[in-house]
Structure 1
Amino acid sequence: MLSLIDTRPFPALPAAFNMAGHVLAAGQSNPGKPALVILHPERDEVLCFADVSARVRGCATALLGIGLQPGDRVLMRLANGPAFPIVFLGALFAGLVPVATSAALTEGEITRLALRADPKLVIANPGIPLPRHPAPVIAPDCAAWASLPPAPLHMGDPHREGYIVFTSGSSGEPEAVSHAHRAILARQAMHAAWEGLIPDDRLLHAGALNWTYTLGTGLLDPWTLGATAVIPAAGTQPTALPTLLARSQATIFAAAPGVFRQMLRAGLPALPHLRHALSAGEALPPALRDDWQRQTGTAVHEALGMSELSTYISGAPHRPAPPGTAGYVQPGRLVACLDDSGNPVPRNTPGELAVSTADPGFMRGYLGRPPPEGPWFRTGDVVTMSDTGAITHLGRKDDLMNAGGFRVSPLDIEAAFHDLPGLTTCAAAEVEVAPGTRIIALFYEGSCRIDATLLHQRAELALARWKQPRHYQHLDSLPRTANGKLIRRALGPLFQRPDP
């Protein structure tokens, strides 16, 4: 049996479509229901679906009123707050193209990204670095927009450019990813096949709204079903999330693994309303998953995805992922595990994960680069596909290490140390200790350095000899992107020889 899974058909595409209109439709039947809750330290800021609709439509009117034309790009320099979703959907509603960016980017970083996106307008909160770019800059004014007459919904080809996001940059320079309006239709399968999301849910996502994980799972998906999106205010620290999670009465919690780790360390109150949690962005260590379930009594369902497609492999409440796996291919997908020649490998054989370029959720392309060609987009993730279809993630293709002629996944090594007392988190990487000589090293965070004897003993107990790290190094913090994703390629330059 070959490593290819076909769960099509793809979702049907209408002749004319608008993503914002699709996302807002469900809320029209319950206009007084809370749509967005922003959690501040001492208060909640709430917008009902009628408030959101009025502000989105008014935002569209305001943007068209200053002379923007459908297809023009709008660069967003906005913090986690109500203005972010209003501007994002308001631009889409008008046929404009919102460009979501991280508020944490410096002037130099956002200038480089703006040169690629070439926006006609920048909308920014005060104090957030702006690009050196000729586009005019305005501040969001959601209250004023709510009083404007509503703009007509811009309908058009579902394949036309809808919005732009940037990859995390964890494996190199961030790419500008152009998505079509149709992308939202491919997310429908996730509601059941990963999120377990229903209209009565209150979903709290701990990430920044510019991240595709937060933007989709934390905002667009709840609103598509008429559920409530709950977002921590800008500047909220992970240690404050346990209290906010309890106060918000969230039924689903979503975050990256690092956030779960910090919350567990801070201590969790009783969470009687929580049904389950969601994790994505990087691999969730089994020990961390077990610790969350032990303390909360709720499961964590993991998903594998990317900025170019969002999630497409996951476990779910009705079909949990088998232990040690990322889950199953979602409905409406075509996925394969390929060899170097582009052919599906036999089941249970490592290969590179690939997705169909015909998937409606797949990007239009990277700005400044030719559009993707061929039937498959190779993701760079190395996986195995079991006889039952469960996917086991072995790591990124460029992260796999060569130890004595054996290919070793850093995830295997890291999993062996995650429950070691005194170790907070860790990352394995291959480092060059002398010209032509490379070894496996383990970099770790913790309150203090751990005795090397304990580290070696754990490795000998849990890992085959060729997988055992030859070097251990304590770091104050592992290198990460603004969204918390590990930058593994940055570990090598941090290598320091042990004192003689």
Structure 2
Amino acid sequence: MLSVFDHGPPLACPTPFNLAAHVLRQADQNANKIALSVLRHDGTEDWTYQALQSAILGTATGLLRAGLKPGDIALMRLGNTVDFPIAYLAAIAVGIVPVPTSSQLTDPETARMVEDLSPAAILRDPSVACAPHPVQIELSDLSQMRDLPPAALQMGDPDKMAYVVYTSGTSGKPRAVAHAHRAIWARQMMVDGWYGLRDTDRLCHAGAFNWTYTLGTGLMDPWTIGATALIPQPGTAPEDLPALLRQHRATIFAAAPGVFRKLLNTPEVLHLPDLRHGLCAGEKLSRHLHARWAEASGTELYEAYGMSECSTFISSSPDHPARGESLGQPQPGRRIAILGPDGPVPQGQEGTIAIHRSDPGLMLTYLNAPQEANSRMQGDWFLTGDQGAMAVDGQITYLGRDDDMMNAGGYRVSPVEVEAALAKFPGITQVGAAAVEVKQDTFVIAAFYTGPEKLDDNALQTYVKANLARYKQPRAFIHLPELPTGGNGKLLRRALPAYFKATHP
């Protein structure tokens, strides 16, 4: 048998359609139900479905009055506050295309995005770094828009572009991934295939409002089915999370593996009587961490695999737990294969994980780089760049990447981007970047460089802080007489972690 999972297509996305309208579809019948609670030790900032819908549609009116038009691109440079999802959904509601970005990005990084996108405006918190742009709608103006009359939702073709997210490619140049309105419809396959989510759930996500993992799993998916989203206030320490989960009766807890690891390293006893299970994504979950969490909390962790180009599409779930070292299986409605050069490989063999082009969650293209999007296709299959093997029951084991992409706290980072930034530093003649394990299941980015002499680590750290987002910044700098290369003189990045172990026993 070949490594193809196909248990039938998902339900077709209705038309006309709008992503924001789909997220708010429960708002009228749940007007007074709490849609969002921002958790604090001394209480909560609560948003009912009615208040949330009013703020989103009022902000949508304000964006139109500010001169933005359907089809315009709006770069989002907002912080970790509720203003972020409100502005995001407001733009989509009236056909404006938002581009959510991490507030950790630096001025030079956002300058490249502005050049790439030519946005009509930037939605801006003045405290968040951003390159100059002639049209900036500031946070204070966005907040006042909430009280405006509601805008009419712009319904249309489900295949129309709804939003753009950035991902780092192996070339080192972040790519703008364009997604259609139908992407939110595809996320329904995650509700049963990963979350086990019910409208009575109180789902707490530990991430920031302006992280796409939080935006989807922590906010939009609970709102779509009428559940309650819980988000800890910015700056909440890991040791404070167990008490907040208990106090606010969280039934599902979602985070990156690193957060679960930190919770297990706190002195707080994980007594979580209301918790049904945890959700984990962003980086590979180790079996060791999984077992520790299950023993300490008495609950399961369900892992999901995805990417910027197609969100999550392989996962374990309460109905289909992962077996052994596997990630789980493709969600119902997905068509997934393991490919070799000539197509699907036999079950059990290693190949590249691939998504069928018909998946409603698959991106439209890379903006300004359609040729790169086309190069990721093998016939009707989109190649993820990750290796895996499919068992006879459809469960998939992750076997690593076929390139050198790094993972830092749940963010995928291209080593080429880090290397390009450091190559400009005086005194560096060659540089390579790799993720290194500093303790069990904990990885950081390290930079390995050559040059006439060892450079000052503090100077290097100051430089990367000014030129790279925090999650892209190396935490260690290793001076070497030469970097490992292959027979063709090409840098062997996969050999670099061994040099770190040799210098940091």
The equivalences for 1:94-493 within 5 A come to: 94-141=94-141, 144-167=144-167, 172-266=172-266, 267-341=268-342, 343-370=343-370, 371-372=373-374, 374-399=379-404, 443-445=437-439, 492=496
Which segment is superposed worse, 368-377 or 387-396?
368-377
What is the aligned residue count?
432
- Contact 1:51–1:146 at 8 Å: present in 2 too? no
Following TM superposition, by how much is the alpha carbon of 1:79 offset from its aligned partner in structure 2, in angstroms?
Answer: 1.8
- Contact 2:121–2:133 at 8 Å: present in 1 too? no
- Contact 1:38–1:81 at 8 Å: present in 2 too? no
How many Å separate the matches in 2 of 1:60 and 1:499?
53
How many Å separate the matches in 1 of 2:163 and 2:311?
14
- Contact 1:61–1:150 at 8 Å: present in 2 too? yes
- Contact 1:21–1:153 at 8 Å: present in 2 too? yes
Counterpart position of 2:483: none
How many Å separate the matches in 2 of 1:489 and 1:117?
31
Q: Residues 327 and 499 from structure 1, CA distance in 2 versus in 1: closer, same or farther, beyond 3 angstroms?
A: closer
State the Cα deviation string for residues 16-67 of structure 1 (Å, max 9, x = none): 1110011001122011111111123533111110110100110010000111
Following TM superposition, by how much is the alpha carbon of 1:125 offset from its aligned partner in structure 2, in angstroms?
Answer: 2.1
How many Å separate the matches in 1 of 2:224 and 2:194?
15
Q: State the secondary structure of the residue aligned to 1:246.
A: helix
Q: Residues 489 and 105 from structure 1, CA distance in 2 versus in 1: closer, same or farther, beyond 3 angstroms?
A: farther
How many Å separate the matches in 1 of 2:276 and 2:200?
12
Q: Percent identity?
A: 46
Aligned residues: CA RMSD: 3.0
- Contact 2:353–2:383 at 8 Å: present in 1 too? yes
User: Structure 2 regions of 5+ residues with no counterpart?
Assistant: 408-414, 416-433, 441-460, 476-491
- The letter of the residue matching 1:387 is V
Q: Residues 340 and 120 from structure 1, CA distance in 2 versus in 1: closer, same or farther, beyond 3 angstroms?
A: same
How many Å separate the matches in 2 of 1:252 and 1:150?
32
Q: Residues 388 and 77 from structure 1, CA distance in 2 versus in 1: closer, same or farther, beyond 3 angstroms?
A: same
How many Å separate the matches in 2 of 1:354 and 1:320?
22
Following TM superposition, by how much is the alpha carbon of 1:499 offset from its aligned partner in structure 2, in angstroms?
Answer: 9.3
Counterpart position of 1:418: none
Q: State the secondary structure of the residue aligned to 2:174.
A: coil
Which segment is superposed worse, 167-176 or 226-235?
167-176
- Contact 1:199–1:227 at 8 Å: present in 2 too? yes
Q: Residues 351 and 441 from structure 1, CA distance in 2 versus in 1: closer, same or farther, beyond 3 angstroms?
A: same
- Contact 1:384–1:393 at 8 Å: present in 2 too? yes
- The letter of the residue matching 1:381 is D
How many Å separate the matches in 1 of 2:16 and 2:474?
40
- Contact 1:356–1:376 at 8 Å: present in 2 too? yes
* TM-score, reference length from structure 1: 0.80
Following TM superposition, by how much is the alpha carbon of 1:134 offset from its aligned partner in structure 2, in angstroms?
Answer: 3.1
- Contact 1:86–1:142 at 8 Å: present in 2 too? no
State the Cα deviation string for residues 172-217 of structure 1 (Å, max 9, x = none): 4332111010111111111011001000111111123333322111
Following TM superposition, by how much is the alpha carbon of 1:109 offset from its aligned partner in structure 2, in angstroms?
Answer: 1.3
Q: State the secondary structure of the residue aligned to 2:346.
A: coil
- Contact 1:384–1:394 at 8 Å: present in 2 too? yes
Following TM superposition, by how much is the alpha carbon of 1:12 offset from its aligned partner in structure 2, in angstroms?
Answer: 0.7
* TM-score, reference length from structure 2: 0.79
Q: Which runs of 4+ in 1 moved over 4 A?
A: 140-143, 168-171, 479-491, 496-500
